[in-house]
Amino acid sequence: MDLEAIEAFEFASRMSDADALMWSIEKDPLLRSTIITVFVLDQSPDRDRFTSAMDRVSRAVPRLRQRVLGHPMSIAPPRWEIDPNFDLRYHLRWMKAIGDGTIREVFDIAEPIAMQGFDRARPLWEFTVVEGLADGKAALIGKVHHAITDGVGGVKLQMEMLDLERNPEDPGAAPEAPAARVLTERERWLDAISYETQRQAGTAGRAVASAPNDIIGFLRDPVGTVTGVLNTTASLARMLRPATEPMSPLMRGRSLSVRFDTLQLPLEPMKAAAKLVAGKLNDAFLAGVAGGLKRYHDHHGVDVGLLRMTMPINVRDESTAHKAGNQFVPARFPVPVGIDDPVARMNALRELVAHQRAEPALALSDPIANLLNRLPATATTGIFGAMLKGIDFVTSNVPGAPVPIFVGGAQIESQIALAPMTGASTNVTLLSYCDDINIGINTDPAAIPDAATFVDCLRDSFDEILKLV
C-alpha cells in the first residue's frame, strides 16, 4: 500500500460537470450508476489487518470519507465534504456464506446489494467480505458509485490501496483523519458564487487567448475552418440524438433488477485473435459480445442485424492522469452483430470504434455537461432518459492489475467488474487480471429472463474467436 502515490492524486472539492450529471440523473432509478466488483480470494482476509488497512486508506483518500452535498438553487456542481458522522463499520461489513459457497452464491448476495441505492448522507462506497466459501476461499464485494471514479481510475486507486505481497512490511502509524467542517448556508452560497466566477473567468480567458489563433486559422483556410465547424456540429447532433426505443425486437423489457454472471478467458490468445485484423484486445472482446447477442436472438428465432451500444471512451491523457473522478465520454452507436465470420466482425468493429474515437464532439463533453447541469434535474433526467433508454447493450474494457495483488493477507484469484446498465438490457465488462480476462455480465431479467442461455451464447461466441489462433 503506497499512501504517497494515493496522495499524489488530485481530488477536487467539487464534482466535475460530468460527475454531477451522473449524480443528478439518478432521479430516475433506471439510470443509477452503481459499480460492483467481486474479488475472489484464496482465503479469508485477516479481519484486523483489513479493517486497519481500510481505516488507513480512508484517511488518505478523501473520497472514502466524503459525502456529496448540493443545493437545488445553486448552479455550481455539488461539493465533496467530509462526513462528520463517518463510521467505518457501516462501509466495511462481514458475513458468512450459508449455501454451497460457489461464485453463484456470491453473486446472489451481490445482486440485492447492487439494487439498493446509496445512502446519500454518507460516502458512496461499501465493502462486504463473504467468508465460508468452498475450499476455504472468501470473496470481497465492492460497491462504489460511478461519481467517485470510472473503471480506469478505480483500478489505479485500487493498485495503491492493495498489497503486492501477502505479508508486507508494517506501514507504520496511520495519518491523521481529515477534519470535518460543516459549512453554513451563507458560506455555501459564497463558495458557489466564487467557484462559478472563477470558472467563467477562466473560460473567458481561454476564449480570448485562443481568438487570435482562431482568426488566423480562418484567414489561412476559411473553407477548412467552416468545414470543421460543420463537422463538429454534426458530431454533436449525433452525440445528443435521442434514442428512446431499443433496436432489438427481443430485449425490450426494463426493470430495477439485476442478474450477475461471469466468464473467464485467457488473455494472450484473445490478444492474438485481435492481431489477425491488426487490432487490439477490445476488438476481439466486442466481436465476442456482438456474436453472443446474435446467437441469443437466433436462439429465440429473432433476426437482428444492428444493435445500439454504449461504450465509454477514455479521454485521459498525461495532463489529467493524476486527477480523480471520471474521464470518459459515453459513445452511443449502432453496431453490426449479424456478421457471421468472426474475423470480418472484428475488422468491422475495429473500424467502427476507430471512427467513434475520432468524433469531434468528444472534445466538447465538458461544455455540454456544464450546459446540461444548468437545467432543472427533471429536465436533465428526461434528456438522458431519451438518450439512454434506447440502448440495447453496454460494453466496457478495463485493464486490470498485471501482477498478483493481496488484501488482508489473502491473494486475489480473480476480480469481476459488474458495471451499471443505465437503461440498457445488459452491460458486459472486461476486466483483465494477470493472465486472465474476467467478463462481468450484468443483465436485466425483464429484458433477458433466461440469463443462463445468454451466457452460453456469449461463451460460444468467445470460443469461436479463441479457435482462430
Averaged confidence pLDDT in the chain: 84
Distance CA 51, CA 101 (A): 23
pLDDT at residue 340 in the model: 95
Q: Tell me which of 43 and 2 has the higher pLDDT.
A: 43
Tell me: pLDDT of 211 over 50.
Answer: no
What percent of the chain has pLDDT above 90? 53
Tell me: pLDDT of 284 over 80.
Answer: yes
Residue 265 forms beta bridges with which residues?
437
- Tens of pLDDT, residue by residue over 239-257, are 667 677 899 999 999 999 9
- Tens of pLDDT, residue by residue over 172-182, are 777 888 888 87
Strand order in the sheet with 138-145: 92-96, 125-131, 138-145, 34-41, 410-418, 406-407
Distance CA 204, CA 202 (A): 5
Catalytic residues: 146
Secondary structure, 3-state, 117-158: CCCCCCCCEEEEEEECCHHHCEEEEEEEECCCECHHHHHHHH
pLDDT at residue 170 in the model: 81
What is the three-class DSSP state of 195? helix
Residues whose CB falls within 8 Å of the CB of residue 146, separated by 6 or more in sequence, listed in order = 22, 33, 34, 35, 326, 420
322, 4 contact by CB (below 8 A) = no
Mean pLDDT of 164-170: 88
pLDDT at residue 262 in the model: 98
Distance CA 80, CA 27 (A): 19
Mean pLDDT of 390-406: 93
Mean pLDDT of 150-172: 73
Tell me: pLDDT of 409 over 80.
Answer: yes
Tell me: pLDDT of 194 over 80.
Answer: no
- What is the domain partition of the chain in residue ranges? 3-186
DSSP class of residue 360 equals G
Q: Which helix (H) or strand (E) holds 159?
A: helix 151-161
pLDDT at residue 356 in the model: 83
Mean pLDDT of 387-403: 89
CATH code of domain 3-186: 3.30.559.10
- Tens of pLDDT, residue by residue over 414-464, are 999 999 998 899 999 999 999 999 999 999 999 999 999 999 999 999 999
pLDDT band at 363 (very low <50, low <70, confident <90, very high): low
pLDDT at residue 14 in the model: 84
- Tens of pLDDT, residue by residue over 80-134, are 999 999 999 999 999 999 999 999 999 999 999 999 999 999 999 999 999 999 9
pLDDT at residue 22 in the model: 80
Mean pLDDT of 159-165: 78
Distance CA 270, CA 399 (A): 14
Strands 125-131 and 92-96 turn out to be: parallel
Tell me: pLDDT of 2 over 80.
Answer: no
pTM summary value: 0.86
Tell me: pLDDT of 138 over 80.
Answer: yes
Distance CA 22, CA 435 (A): 33
Mean pLDDT of 364-377: 65
Q: Tell me which of 144 and 204 has the higher pLDDT.
A: 144
